[in-house]
Structure 1
Amino acid sequence: MSAVFTQVDVRALAPRPRPIEESVTVGKDILELLTGSMYVDPLVIYREYIQNAADSIDEAREAGLMFNEEAGVVISFNHAERTIILRDNGASISAADFVHRLVNIGASQKRGKKLRGFRGVGRLSGLGHCQELIFRGRVEGEAKVSEVRWDGRALKEKMRDPNYSGDLATLVKDIVTQTRVPGDGYPERFFEVEMRKIIRSRNDILLNEEAVRNYISQVAPVPFSKEFSFAKAIEARLTNHGVRPPINITLNDGRGPIYHRVQDRIPFSDTVTDTIRGVDFIELRDSDDEICAVGWIADHSYSGSIPKRLGVGGVRLRVGDIQVGDEAILAPLFAEPRFAGWAVGDIHVLSSKILPNGRRDDFDATAAYIHLQGELSFHTKAITHRIRERSGQRNQLRSVQQHFGAVDVWLNAVAARSMPKIVLKVIQELSRSRLECVTKEAAKFAPGSEELLATNARVAQVAKMIEGLPAHGKGKGSNVLLNTDLEHPISMVLKTILSSTKTPDAGIELSLQVLKALETH
């Protein structure tokens, strides 16, 4: 008799899950994470506040509000007071909403509105770097200015106090105050962030105008310099794809507006400069064949890794024309990661499915982002191929220059001293041999390239100089020395000397010594 087994679904016997009944407490430590630990680089606070200002300016543009001056941000430094103020002329916040919007944490109203900031935490990024963080603003028609103050010193005291048991909401109420101040001296419509008593960081970088200017030129939605030859073409292409207009950002250092990091010239050093000769526009599509990103990559000589101090290198990723990550964000997509620093360009991500992570140092790891990386890898391969191709061209050019250099030294030596006929003949033949080497190397240059045209012109010039050598030397030499037979043993010795010594000039000098020794015998 066979056994009968009954299968029981244990899951059906388990109790059904139900919502928790306990109250949830968000502790005070979360505020420390948001203000001190979330962002590693202190300069990130400029990106966060400029990002919010750019969104406010876009809101003003869409609402048809007028700008008394260029739409943008003014950043003022007061070194004596260790204070920084960032003021924009965007839509601002009305008095009715001011406190509510500036004390809520992680409750942004921007999500889903195609604005740059949408998590509602970036505005607190400055609190960990100053003793007092102040927000001020008003909209047109309001007589007074609304003000909210976050006390950074009180925050640190309560964070260190083991007896303080308040949760996040209680902590915010304990360290934040509000007021309305007279509007005299303030613009009719504005919003500003003031950071008082900036805490010293490495190299006091937050109050370093040069460092701030360089950083903003990389990460912020600033315009290209009018002196950048490809500015109009890039701006037109981005506008066609819906990338919003840039904003004007100035510092109170008297140096005028900040422009995009890229210029025509890339100064590697005081003696080496590369030039951007063109830009390649690209469009990237998602798995539904919709455009998910657009951008441009500069064409230049790829002379080497661009010095990081310039803040120019790398193909950068941007969302809302705000940079995400840094110059090395695409390095993992290169066969040799070092090549990421050789290229220059921007890729603007347009897809709403590809979102920056909370720190904006990369993107959320979604299927859409992984697909974008796959599309970008085709372009990183093309960049790698171009780098190696340009390196080969530089090697060819160096070879050509070396051959020309040898010929120049020989011909200058002929002009500077009296030569026996056989030495002149040997120099003539060696010069022709060098020109043959030049011609072989030049054949590898691209047809019509500047290198090829310059080389051909130089070959013609040198060939004419070689043919113009005197028919015989002015030295008194013997019959042996006047022998013009290049297969003569003495000629062969001289050719060997000339082609084997470290420099052509040394070879000529040694040849003359050999000839002089032969004369005395």
Structure 2
Amino acid sequence: MAFIGKNVIENLTTAMYEDLRIIYREYIQNSADSIDRAVRDGIITRDEAKIDIDINARKRYISVMDNAAGIPYEQFVKIMSSIADSTKDRGEDKGFRGIGRLGGISSCETLIFSCSAPGEAVLSICKWDAKRVREILVDKTQNPSAAELVDMVTEFSQKEYDEDTHFFKVELIGVEKTSEELLQKDKVMNYLRSVAPIPYATGFIFKSKIADFASEHGFTIDEYQVFVCGERIFKPYTTKLYEPTSNGQKKAYDEIVDIAFKIFPENSDKPLAWMWYGISKFEKQIPSINPMRGIRLRKSNIQIGNENTFSAHDFYFETRGCLYFVGEVFAIDEDLIPNARRDYFNLNDTCREFERLLHPLFYDRFKTIYHYANDYKKALQKQQEFQTSQSDYQQKVTTGGFLNADDKQAHETKLESQEKAAEKATKQITMRDQKGKDDEVLSRVYQALRDKYPVKSTPAKLKPLKEATKGQEYMSQKLSKFSKKEQKTISRIYSILRAILPMDTANMVINKIQEELSK
């Protein structure tokens, strides 16, 4: 008979997860499955169902509790003492390996599971001596089998309870100092807002559009009421995209103006997945201050991996491409199976087909979108720069704002260069508009960019402007109380100041001198 050693337990507990907060996801996942069954059986309604997480850092205590169906008392011992032998359905249930509940063993002194099933006046309790588990795992003198180890560290009991109460509860008692992040409420909430199967934030205006698209195509987005220390949590999607400021605050630099959808494959009665992604001006990679940046992969609305999952599996043409977008891919096919760590799928034929179907969008289309957006923005900026310089030139001519003929010539030389760049930019914008007129996404991007970088009209030609402004005064010529020789000297001083000082400083000094000499 084969001997399964104690190290199997280590692999399923202390060595399973890089981020300890993943145990919250595992327990929420199990609660979600229990809620689904309770709703199907008519025990509770979807609106009544909830998952409560309590974190008490002072007492070093954590609990995760749902109000679903629990486990009947006659099945409790068998189910809770079975490891990697889940009765769940891979095609329907979110958790199905029977190992997720062991995650807490690595982080506390005692791990307790308790529950009561509907109509049963029994409270069933399973207590794990988690500290002893870890001691045995590192003790080279003890070599029990995996089954023997479980029997050594678990204790079962039952007692009378209110038959009208039904729930399942996980408790971590004596959370270890090495697992401090599990007790940091704000960090736990931020993590769960990203990974948990919860609704979109109320302020996310596109949530109804996403729900309507899903309903229209027969897709389900599993959502549950999850509370952390009494506060309900939501996916923190917003329409604004922020960047950090120098004073430690944030400011909006872009926004999601619309969303686009895609089904994989497009024309199939049994799609593998579907997605939505935000349409913005794609001005730059989205800073990390935005918690939901990147395209997130989800199965049963539980996140798989993080914002870099698609990038890590070479979906993008260039690594930076993953951080220009916001959105979600919802895997549907039952053969798209999250691996044990839930950072990607098991590699099978369906997974490879999934990758093949998504590749054109992620690798080619996404690159085209943000590269074209950047080119279009630069073209608009060149038009704006020319118009701004034109206005500056006209004002200087009108008010006698040039230092001298050389200064005027320098402005005209700069304008001529900007004029050529603006003409080239106009052609580029026209070409992009023509090619993008039947492309809803790019058309929306270009419109958003035009709104931010408006160009009043086609920039006027420089030559007529120069001819209409001949013979105007320079700054020193306004100083009529000075002789022409003195005016030339003043003009030379102005030129020297312009040459040795930063432009803003030079202009400030020159204007001040001009003001004083005009008195």
User: If the TM-score is normalised by the length of the shorter chain, which range does it land in?
Assistant: 0.7 to 0.9
User: Which whole-Å CA distance do the structure 2 matches of 1:437 and 1:498 have between them?
Assistant: 26
- Partner residue, 1:488: none
1:442–1:455 Cα contact (<8 Å) kept? no
2:44–2:68 Cα contact (<8 Å) kept? no
User: Which whole-Å CA distance do the structure 2 matches of 1:113 and 1:337 have between them?
Assistant: 33
Deviation digits for residues 362-400 of structure 1, max 9, x if unmatched? 111112111111111101111111111122123234434
Closer, same or farther: CA 187–510 of 1 in aligned 2, 3 Å:
farther
Deviation at 1:437, TM superposition (A): 5.2
User: Which whole-Å CA distance do the structure 2 matches of 1:412 and 1:147 have between them?
Assistant: 84
User: Which whole-Å CA distance do the structure 1 matches of 2:55 and 2:83 have between them?
Assistant: 27
Which residue identity lines up with residue 326 of structure 2 in the other structure? V
Which residue identity lines up with residue 174 of structure 1 in the other structure? M
User: Which whole-Å CA distance do the structure 1 matches of 2:104 and 2:399 have between them?
Assistant: 71
- Partner residue, 1:449: 447
User: Which whole-Å CA distance do the structure 2 matches of 1:166 and 1:310 have between them?
Assistant: 48
Structure 1: state its 5+ residue gaps: 1-22, 482-493, 514-521
2:397–2:472 Cα contact (<8 Å) kept? no
Correspondence for 2:307 among 327, 346, 354: 327
Correspondence for 2:336 among 354, 375, 379: 354
Closer, same or farther: CA 418–157 of 1 in aligned 2, 3 Å:
closer
Deviation at 1:119, TM superposition (A): 0.8
- Partner residue, 1:298: 278
Aligned partner of residue 309 in structure 2, secondary structure: coil
Which residue identity lines up with residue 177 of structure 1 in the other structure? E
Closer, same or farther: CA 194–401 of 1 in aligned 2, 3 Å:
farther
User: Which whole-Å CA distance do the structure 1 matches of 2:148 and 2:291 have between them?
Assistant: 43
User: Which whole-Å CA distance do the structure 2 matches of 1:308 and 1:289 have between them?
Assistant: 38
Matched, 1:111 2:89: yes
Which residue identity lines up with residue 441 of structure 1 in the other structure? A
Deviation at 1:413, TM superposition (A): 6.0
Aligned partner of residue 457 in structure 1, secondary structure: coil
Which residue identity lines up with residue 275 of structure 2 in the other structure? G
Higher alpha-carbon deviation: 394-403 or 375-384:
394-403
- Partner residue, 1:82: 60
Which residue identity lines up with residue 265 of structure 2 in the other structure? R
Deviation at 1:444, TM superposition (A): 3.6
User: Which whole-Å CA distance do the structure 1 matches of 2:469 and 2:69 have between them?
Assistant: 79
Deviation at 1:334, TM superposition (A): 1.3
Higher alpha-carbon deviation: 323-332 or 395-404:
395-404
1:266–1:275 Cα contact (<8 Å) kept? yes
1:353–1:368 Cα contact (<8 Å) kept? yes
Deviation at 1:271, TM superposition (A): 3.8
Higher alpha-carbon deviation: 156-165 or 347-356:
156-165
- Partner residue, 2:382: 399
Closer, same or farther: CA 197–370 of 1 in aligned 2, 3 Å:
same
Identical aligned pairs, as a percentage? 24
- Partner residue, 1:196: 173
Deviation digits for residues 162-192 of structure 1, max 9, x if unmatched? 33343222211111112224546x9812111
1:286–1:368 Cα contact (<8 Å) kept? no
Correspondence for 2:223 among 246, 263, 269: 246
Deviation digits for residues 219-261 of structure 1, max 9, x if unmatched? 1111011211110111233344332430011111x6x321114
Deviation digits for residues 142-172 of structure 1, max 9, x if unmatched? 2232111111112123223333343222211
Higher alpha-carbon deviation: 233-242 or 404-413:
404-413
- Partner residue, 1:376: 358
User: Which whole-Å CA distance do the structure 1 matches of 2:411 and 2:135 have between them?
Assistant: 86
User: Which whole-Å CA distance do the structure 2 matches of 1:375 and 1:176 have between them?
Assistant: 47
- Partner residue, 2:206: 230
Task: Summarize the alignment of residues 505-516 of structure 1 with structure 2, pairs less than 5 Å apart.
Answer: none
Aligned partner of residue 317 in structure 1, secondary structure: strand
- Partner residue, 1:341: 323
1:287–1:371 Cα contact (<8 Å) kept? no
Which residue identity lines up with residue 166 of structure 2 in the other structure? R
Which residue identity lines up with residue 292 of structure 1 in the other structure? L
- Partner residue, 2:294: 314
Task: Summarize the alignment of residues 363-442 of structure 1 with structure 2, pairs less than 5 Å apart.
Answer: 363-380=345-362, 381-407=364-390, 438=422, 440-442=424-426
* TM-score of the pair, normalised by structure 2: 0.78
Deviation at 1:71, TM superposition (A): 2.2
Deviation digits for residues 203-222 of structure 1, max 9, x if unmatched? x2111122111211211111
User: Which whole-Å CA distance do the structure 2 matches of 1:86 and 1:49 have between them?
Assistant: 7
User: Which whole-Å CA distance do the structure 2 matches of 1:30 and 1:106 have between them?
Assistant: 10
User: Which whole-Å CA distance do the structure 2 matches of 1:250 and 1:416 have between them?
Assistant: 66
Aligned partner of residue 238 in structure 1, secondary structure: helix
1:133–1:196 Cα contact (<8 Å) kept? yes
User: Which whole-Å CA distance do the structure 2 matches of 1:232 and 1:268 have between them?
Assistant: 27
User: Which whole-Å CA distance do the structure 1 matches of 2:22 and 2:255 have between them?
Assistant: 30
1:67–1:89 Cα contact (<8 Å) kept? no
User: Which whole-Å CA distance do the structure 2 matches of 1:319 and 1:367 have between them?
Assistant: 17
2:400–2:472 Cα contact (<8 Å) kept? no
User: Which whole-Å CA distance do the structure 2 matches of 1:429 and 1:187 have between them?
Assistant: 87
Task: Summarize the alignment of residues 24-35 of structure 1 with structure 2, pairs less than 5 Å apart.
Answer: 24-35=2-13
1:224–1:260 Cα contact (<8 Å) kept? yes
Aligned partner of residue 478 in structure 2, secondary structure: coil
Correspondence for 1:170 among 140, 148, 155: 148
Correspondence for 1:53 among 31, 35, 60: 31
Structure 2: state its 5+ residue gaps: 245-249, 434-445, 485-493, 514-519
Matched, 1:130 2:108: yes
Aligned partner of residue 98 in structure 1, secondary structure: helix
2:222–2:300 Cα contact (<8 Å) kept? no
Deviation at 1:402, TM superposition (A): 3.7
Closer, same or farther: CA 364–477 of 1 in aligned 2, 3 Å:
same
Closer, same or farther: CA 196–307 of 1 in aligned 2, 3 Å:
farther
- Partner residue, 2:442: none
Correspondence for 1:275 among 232, 235, 255: 255
Closer, same or farther: CA 69–287 of 1 in aligned 2, 3 Å:
closer
User: Which whole-Å CA distance do the structure 2 matches of 1:205 and 1:223 have between them?
Assistant: 25
